[in-house]
Amino acid sequence: MFDITPEIEKVLKYTDLVLLDIKHIDPDKCKELVGFSNEKELAFAQYLNKKNIPVWIRQVLVPGITDAEEDLIKLKKFLQTLNNVKKVEILPYHSLGKYKWESIGAQYELEDIPYATVEDVKRAKNILEIE
């Protein structure tokens, strides 16, 4: 499922911190959101934990997609299995990168999604029990 190549191992020997985005904690919802499951990123998080490499976990809070209470609780439970997490960042969704999709002629799939508000982020942080 997840292979660490010699090249990755070499880079990680010199790595002080990894910024790891978890697109969605649920594998099926992740696949629906980005086109593939989260198995590799979660396995990588566990590998980093085993190697005691510090990590910041980041998740974009997308209203109606990544903000369900049950998913945030699932994320919290996963993070509690890791001893190397130094910070968890909840990044509010915005569409500033929409122009990149348009520039390549691709449809921007999140067109009708509202931006995450300060209140949305605060709620997620409360559920995750961070900051």
pLDDT in tens, 32-86: 988 899 999 999 999 999 999 999 999 999 999 999 999 999 999 999 999 999 9
Could you report the per-residue pLDDT of 96-112, keeping only the tens digit for each? 778 787 889 888 888 88
Within a 10 A sphere around the Cβ of 21, how many other Cβ atoms?
13
In the numeric block, the tokens 């990894």 are attached to 18
Task: Look at the chain and report how many structural domains it folds into.
Answer: 1
Contact 56, 17 (CB under 8 A): yes
pTM score, two decimals?
Answer: 0.89
Residue 64, domain CATH: 3.20.20.70
Q: Is residue 96 part of a domain?
A: yes
At residue 20, does pLDDT exceed 90? Answer: yes
How far is the C-alpha of 128 from the C-alpha of 131, rounded, in Å? Answer: 9
For residue 91, give the nearest of 46, 54, 131 by alpha carbon.
131
The verdict on residue 1 lying in a domain is no
Tell me the mean pLDDT in the region 18-43: 94
